[in-house]
């Protein structure tokens, strides 16, 4: 790197320049992803939660209800008054409700997501500057903005974990500066991000206790986080629904307490871990290569420094253990939102290591570090998180699946034309990519679900159904994973719904309408073409 450029980076405003670059890049990519209708279900869930909360119905969501055990296991239909707090306890989201109120839209959540993750990096810079020289603090901050565990989740749907770096880095900085009121406020906010962020906080408390830097604070943080997780998961969340005990815990951690168990609590999981160490070791060792690659991916943007930092090991072992124990194909992926849970511990641990070794930052180390950050960014781009770079990179090579941006943009116009025909107060069933732009309403479900339990407790079919078959066909999604277009055909042939628009393989149905003969002919041709495409 030229000497002039190095000197430029050492200027006081350099960290903010990197932060602005990160913010603009993430925001632009997220807006492109959303505007071409590649944002998916979770974006719609969080937008509907905010929209309902803005109207006084806090944390209610018919989209979340569609994922509940009442619907999936008990055969009920989604309800508009379902409280999402039974699935995930996320009261910290209310902090940002005033911002959402300024412009109630999924786009506001996109802006908020980019802003929160960017702000987390700026607070990290201040934390690093508390101990380190400006140049080294800049390297730490640049590593954060180049980390796959930050970029990958940043390019997905809005999620609660985007608050974690800001709150937790702020809490650590407040502790170091002895701003006790702010420290405890941010610790409480961190706990309220989600029911399992107490595990992340617990790891920091263990470090403060073992290092004897803040032993009483560490002890209090450990006690508080443990009690919070236990009380929230065993007392508060069951007040809203039994989703945690019947769906999430048995599904993710059933191997700890027995795969045949139908319901479990966090105390059952903890008991299984403590009373069966051999089984625990077996679970921890079942994916050694994948675990190693996951850890290396977290270390990479920091030049593998966290591997030499015992505080990083202490703080990260609790959230990392949760990820390893979780029975999920996405638990150990850097581009999934859960990866952010490890970021505060790893970066805090790296700062603590550099505090004792600042003299090692020579030219050779900087060259290696620069290479690591570059590789980290390149790898996460090649991973194509959440199809963000699908307009550049193919989604599949065999078979070849790639849709140029021009085609996506043309299809976007067709979608917008059909969405405009749906009234804002109508109930809707939509396919995955069409859920987010339609989620600012009381009643919406993901097709093939098409019935809702309304506020009067009566079950009714939705007013409109809109499906994007173009997406299914272009991306070669198997019929069994495409929510089965036969359900759509059945709604049409039964006369319950009529086609009012069919454009670019997007089908808009309205309840009680009669399908015109010309649209019926178009539909039959499209239906037969799709069936032929997906024949086994």
Burial 360-370 (b: 16+ CB within 10 A, else e): ebeeeebeebe
CB 390 within 8 A of CB 403: yes
The C-alpha atoms of residue 317 and residue 21 are separated, in whole angstroms, by 32
The C-alpha atoms of residue 403 and residue 391 are separated, in whole angstroms, by 6
- The three-class DSSP label of residue 388 is coil
Mind listing the pLDDT tens digit for each residue in 287-301? 889 999 999 999 999
CB 236 within 8 A of CB 192: no
Q: Which of these, 451, 450, 430, lies nearest to 440 by C-alpha position? A: 430
Mind listing the pLDDT tens digit for each residue in 201-242? 999 999 999 999 899 999 999 999 999 999 999 999 999 999
Provide the whole-model pTM.
0.93
How much is the pLDDT for 481? 45
| Low-confidence stretches of the chain (pLDDT beneath 50) | 1-2, 4-9, 480-482
The CA distances from residue 443 to 421, 425, 430, 449, in Å, are 16, 8, 11, 12
R_g of the chain computed on alpha carbons: 25
How much is the pLDDT for 199? 96
Q: Give me the torsion for CA of 364, 367, 369, 373, rounded to 10°.
A: -170
DSSP 250-269: HHHHHHHH-TT-S---HHHH
How much is the pLDDT for 534? 62
How much is the pLDDT for 10? 53
How much is the pLDDT for 408? 87
How much is the pLDDT for 30? 96
Show the CA angle centred on residue 27, arms to residues 170 and 373, nearest 5°.
65
How much is the pLDDT for 434? 95
Mean pLDDT taken over the chain:
90
How much is the pLDDT for 5? 43
Tell me the sheet residues that pair with 460.
Answer: 452
CB 171 within 8 A of CB 220: no
φ, ψ (nearest 5 deg) of residue 106: -60, -25
């Amino acid at each position: 790197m030229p000497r002039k450029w190095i000197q430029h980076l050492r200027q006081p405003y350099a960290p903010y320049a990197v932060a602005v670059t990160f913010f603009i890049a993430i925001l632009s990519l997220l807006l492109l992803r959303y505007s071409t209708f590649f944002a998916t279900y979770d974006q719609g869930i969080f937008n509907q939660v905010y929209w309902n909360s803005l109207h006084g119905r806090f944390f209610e969501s018919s989209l979340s209800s569609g994922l509940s055990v009442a619907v999936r296991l008990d055969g009920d239909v989604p309800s508009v008054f379902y409280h999402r707090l039974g699935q995930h306890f996320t009261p910290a989201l209310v902090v940002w409700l005033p911002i959402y109120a300024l412009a109630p839209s999924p786009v506001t959540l996109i802006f908020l997501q980019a802003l929160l993750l960017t702000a987390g990096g700026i607070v990290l810079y201040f934390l690093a500057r508390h101990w380190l020289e400006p140049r080294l603090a800049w390297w730490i901050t640049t590593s954060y903005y180049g980390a796959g565990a930050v970029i990958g989740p940043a390019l997905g749907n809005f999620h609660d974990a985007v608050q974690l770096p800001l709150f937790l880095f702020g809490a650590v900085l407040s502790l170091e500066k002895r701003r006790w009121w702010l420290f405890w406020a941010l610790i409480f906010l961190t706990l309220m991000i989600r029911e399992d962020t107490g595990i992340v906080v617990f790891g920091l408390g263990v470090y403060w206790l073992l290092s004897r830097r803040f032993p009483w604070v560490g002890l209090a943080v450990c006690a508080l986080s443990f009690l919070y997780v236990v009380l929230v998961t065993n007392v508060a969340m069951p007040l809203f629904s039994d989703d945690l005990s019947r769906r999430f815990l048995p599904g993710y951690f059933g191997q700890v307490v027995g795969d045949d168990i139908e319901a479990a609590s966090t105390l059952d999981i903890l008991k299984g871990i403590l009373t069966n160490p051999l089984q625990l070791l077996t679970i921890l060792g079942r994916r050694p290569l994948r675990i190693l690659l996951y850890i290396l991916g977290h270390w990479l943007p920091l030049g593998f420094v966290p591997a030499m930092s015992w505080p990083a090991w202490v703080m990260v072992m609790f959230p990392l253990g949760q990820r390893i124990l979780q029975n999920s194909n996405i638990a150990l992926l850097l581009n999934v939102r859960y990866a952010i849970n490890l970021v505060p511990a790893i970066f805090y641990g790296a700062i603590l290591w550099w505090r004792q070794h600042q003299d090692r930052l020579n030219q050779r180390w900087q060259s290696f570090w620069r290479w690591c950050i570059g590789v980290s960014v390149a790898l996460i781009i090649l991973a194509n998180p959440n199809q963000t770079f699908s307009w550049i990179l193919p989604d599949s090579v065999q078979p070849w699946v790639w849709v140029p941006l021009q085609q996506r943009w043309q299809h976007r116009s067709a979608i917008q034309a059909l969405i405009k025909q749906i009234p804002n107060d109508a109930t809707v069933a939509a396919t995955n990519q069409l859920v987010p732009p339609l989620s600012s309403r009381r009643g919406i479900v993901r097709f093939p679900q098409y019935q809702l339990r309304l506020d009067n407790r009566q079950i009714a079919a939705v007013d409109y159904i809109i499906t994007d078959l173009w997406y299914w066909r272009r991306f070669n999604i198997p019929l069994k994973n495409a929510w089965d277009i036969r359900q759509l055909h059945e709604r049409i042939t039964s006369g319950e719904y009529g086609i009012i628009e069919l454009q670019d393989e997007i089908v808009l149905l309205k309840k009680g309408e009669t399908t015109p003969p010309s649209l019926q002919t178009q539909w039959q041709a499209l239906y037969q073409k799709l069936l032929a495409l997906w024949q086994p």
